[in-house]
Amino acid sequence: MRTRTTTGYLATALTILALAAMPAFAAPLPIDATAIPLAAADGNSNEAVILVYLGKADGTPNNWADLPGVGTEPNSGVELKGSKWSFETLSVPNSYSGKVWTDYRKIEKEDLKGQLRIMQIYAAVNAVSVSESRTLYVLRILPKVGFQGESKTPLAWKSGTYTFRVTYKDGVDQGTALGTLIIP
């Protein structure tokens, strides 16, 4: 009898420990993104924008999101490392690439897929009333090519669909949106 009671207590204790050790689930932050080509078109390097709506964990709009600073190089764009924002180019048209040195011992440069590079993030605020405003975060993007952590060179847009992911993480709460940019 004593063994059954001890086993029951042990099972209960292990269950409680397992539940306590599990990480708390983060609340999903409401986020939505849409891209607008503006004057970006096949063959040019003009700017496009991504508009991001960002909410708080309770569903109310986040009008005061932390904005990352600009990188150390004038044309390097926004420095996302260490910020609450992250961005990733997921896919680009096949012909959207540039020539780079992949190895200094090689005679010719090789093709490297281009990226959407965020040059600036700012808040566009629309005051609805004295006590209410609506905010969209504008991500200015340019076509660039280069390795991660290194300077990027300009690249011409190619017709097609570019897909991306934008994420905002505030403490343990996180929101991610997938979007597409279509260049005519």
What is the rounded distance in angstroms from the CA atom of residue 183 to the CA atom of residue 160? 5
Per-residue pLDDT, 90: 94
86-103 pLDDT tens trace: 999 999 998 887 766 566
* Number of domain units in the chain: 1
Domain residues for 168?
25-183
If pLDDT is split at 50, 70 and 90, which confidence band does 146 have? confident
Q: pTM of the predicted model, to two decimals? A: 0.78
Residue 34 lies in a domain: yes
What is the rounded distance in angstroms from the CA atom of residue 54 to the CA atom of residue 135? 8
Residue 77 lies in a domain: yes
If pLDDT is split at 50, 70 and 90, which confidence band does 20 have? very low
Residue 91 lies in a domain: yes
Residue 1 lies in a domain: no
Residue 5 lies in a domain: no
9 or 58, higher pLDDT: 58
Residue 169 lies in a domain: yes
Residue 11 lies in a domain: no
Sheet holding 85-91, edge to edge: 85-91, 160-170, 173-183
